[in-house]
Amino acid sequence: MDDEDVEVIEVSVPSKQPRFGFFAIIRQIWHEITAGIGIWGTFRPVIAMILALVPFLYLGQHFNRNHRRGTDFFLLQIPLSFTLILWVFLYVWSVFDAWRAASIIVSRKS
């Protein structure tokens, strides 16, 4: 082989490791926990579900600013109270719907 056919590649290696400060690590952990949407975006569906667990009032719907749906569910429970099975279904659906609506709000804002 001739010296003209040999290709020389130089690799530079940094001499120092990058230093991460305590606050940079905490900031990264916080970003991973909240998925980048902040503490309110993370806990909004949970708070909506907790409020929806209060029976008869459908507060989860009002929390998500779905006042019409909350009022409709409230008025719909009056005839459903005669049939306990349908009222339980409406109650469980309201809890699920409050969580789902809050998740949709968070996903649209992020």
Residues with Cβ within 8 Å of 101's Cβ and at least 6 positions away in sequence, in order, are 48, 61, 64, 66
Residues with Cβ within 8 Å of 53's Cβ and at least 6 positions away in sequence, in order, are 60, 95
User: Tell me: the pLDDT tens digits for 32-52?
Assistant: 776 667 677 778 888 889 999
User: Tell me: the pLDDT tens digits for 64-82?
Assistant: 999 999 999 999 988 877 8
